[in-house]
């Protein structure tokens, strides 16, 4: 029997609600599978801790997480703490500290969920967005001077390194190669940003030579938003910078029905460090505590986590259970239903326990 050590960081807002749901489903899967166990340690890191102690996570937080097999993360953000404090105080130090440079965001329209795009169903939208997760526009380089003065200046510098770009391109081409269509779209903005983004394009073309069986094309990020809406079936695997993919993947989530169904894995492909799995959404102040947060994104990221751990059967079983429950119409309000988080979670756990899943 294998035992995986999982660090759960539910954090803020609806984070604790969806992580509790995810852990319940994972427990049901482990029981059903019988071949593995999860040893879960919960951390109370987040905005409440910040308000109490001045820090979202302890100074040795990274050390504490280092020996876990994976991290299962909820969401961070509170109405009374600035967003840059919460993001840079918890999520980014983990992603960047563990060099989880590939942020993998699958999107498809689940059965039973209606896309806001007329006439677009599950066969028309099945994408994986690969987001560069370690540098680019979120490198944290920049500064402010003459604060509050008329001559105040602020810089936010995008950093693109050959190593950083090449490794994310390789990851994306490899992922595209593993999917039936073997098709990759490289998102860029090299018309306006003529240094970093031109190097991005050049490295994409160089890496492409090592993947002759992968067809690829290039899109400016603005035109990409149009293509995602007008011709979703023309896309499959997508690679983009930290900022571009951050924005495009929220659009992807909305086109698939709701942010509440969109998952993400922050992966260290070299497995030097634990990878981190989370729903894309934030702490959703408007629905916190109402019991209606959609847990599907968290189930999906739990499935990504199981896949990363090598538990392929359990990963697939979880997604079959999610597909079944969605197509049965057990849906939270964000995707047009009346079910609660608890209803969906119980239905998914029951499906996991069922014979045909």
Query: Interface with ligand NAD by CB under 6 A: which range of 1-9, 102-110, 119-127, 287-295?
Result: 287-295
Does 287 participate in binding ligand NAD (rule CB under 6 A)? yes
Identify the residue among 70, 95, 255, 284 touching ligand NAD (CB under 6 A).
284
Does 270 participate in binding ligand NAD (rule CB under 6 A)? no
- E-strand spans in the chain? 2-11, 36-42, 70-75, 102-108, 126-132, 136-145, 153-159, 183-188, 215-220, 237-240, 263-267, 275-279
Site string for ligand NAD, 37-76 (x = CB under 6 A): --------------------------------------xx
Which phi and psi angles does 102 have, rounded to 5°?
A: -105, 115
Identify the residue among 252, 259, 330, 347 touching ligand NAD (CB under 6 A).
259
89-118 residues in contact with ligand NAD (CB under 6 A) are: 91
Contact 291, 342 (CB under 8 A): yes
Element (H, E) at 17: helix 15-33
| Closest separation in Å from C-beta 339 to ligand NAD | 11
Which of 152, 131, 79 has the alpha carbon at shortest distance from 251?
131
Does 77 participate in binding ligand NAD (rule CB under 6 A)? yes
Site string for ligand NAD, 319-338 (x = CB under 6 A): -------------x-x----
Q: What is each CA distance from 223 to 88, 163, 250, 256, in whole angstroms?
A: 30, 27, 16, 19
Nearer Cβ to ligand NAD (82/142): 82
Q: What is each CA distance from 50 to 12, 43, 45, 72, 246, in whole angstroms?
A: 11, 13, 8, 20, 25
Site string for ligand NAD, 145-164 (x = CB under 6 A): --------------------
Query: Interface with ligand NAD by CB under 6 A: which range of 100-108, 118-126, 274-282, 303-311?
Result: 274-282
172-211 residues in contact with ligand NAD (CB under 6 A) are: none
Nearer Cβ to ligand NAD (76/186): 76
Does 282 participate in binding ligand NAD (rule CB under 6 A)? yes
Strand order across the 237-240 sheet: 36-42, 2-11, 70-75, 275-279, 263-267, 102-108, 126-132, 237-240, 183-188, 215-220
Nearer Cβ to ligand NAD (15/164): 15
11-30 residues in contact with ligand NAD (CB under 6 A) are: 14, 18
Q: What is each CA distance from 227 to 145, 200, 201, 204, 214, in whole angstroms?
A: 40, 21, 19, 20, 20
| Closest separation in Å from C-beta 77 to ligand NAD | 2
Q: How many CB atoms lie within 10 A of CB 282?
A: 18
CA atoms of 222 and 205, how far apart (whole Å): 21
For ligand NAD, the binding residues (CB under 6 A) are: 14, 18, 75-77, 83, 91, 259-260, 278, 281-287, 293-294, 297, 332, 334
């Amino acid at each position: 029997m294998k035992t995986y050590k999982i660090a759960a960081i539910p954090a803020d807002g609806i984070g604790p609600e969806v992580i509790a749901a995810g852990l319940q489903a994972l427990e049901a899967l482990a029981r059903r599978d019988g071949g593995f166990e999860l040893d879960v340690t919960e951390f109370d890191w987040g905005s409440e801790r910040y308000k109490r102690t001045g820090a979202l996570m302890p100074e040795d937080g990274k050390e504490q997480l280092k020996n876990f097999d994976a991290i299962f993360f909820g969401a961070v953000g509170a109405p009374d703490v600035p967003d840059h404090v919460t993001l840079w105080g918890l999520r980014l130090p983990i992603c960047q500290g563990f060099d989880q440079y590939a942020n993998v965001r699958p999107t498809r329209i689940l059965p039973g969920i209606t896309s806001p795009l007329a006439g677009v169903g599950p066969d028309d939208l099945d994408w994986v967005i690969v987001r560069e997760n370690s540098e680019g526009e979120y490198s944290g380089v920049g500064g402010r001077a003459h604060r509050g003065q008329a001559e105040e200046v602020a810089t936010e510098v995008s950093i693109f390194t050959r190593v950083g770009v090449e490794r994310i391109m390789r990851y994306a081409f490899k992922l595209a190669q593993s999917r039936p269509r073997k098709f990759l779209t490289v998102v860029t903005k090299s018309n306006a940003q003529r240094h970093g983004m031109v190097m991005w394009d050049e490295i994409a073309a160089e890496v492409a030579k090592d993947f002759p069986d992968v067809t690829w094309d290039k899109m400016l990020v603005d035109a990409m938003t149009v293509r995602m809406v007008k011709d979703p079936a023309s896309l499959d695997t997508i690679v983009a910078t930290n900022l571009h993919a951050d924005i495009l993947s929220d659009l992807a989530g909305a086109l698939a029905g709701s942010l509440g169904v969109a998952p993400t894995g922050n992966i260290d492909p070299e497995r030097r460090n634990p990878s981190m799995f989370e729903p894309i959404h934030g702490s959703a102040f408007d629905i916190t505590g109402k019991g209606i947060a959609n847990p599907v994104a968290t189930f999906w990221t739990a499935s990504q986590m199981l896949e990363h751990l090598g538990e392929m059967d359990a990963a697939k079983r979880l997604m079959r259970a999610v597909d079944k429950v969605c197509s049965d119409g057990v849906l939270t309000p964000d995707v047009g239903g009346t079910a609660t988080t608890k209803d969906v979670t119980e239905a998914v756990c029951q499906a996991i326990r069922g014979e045909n899943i």
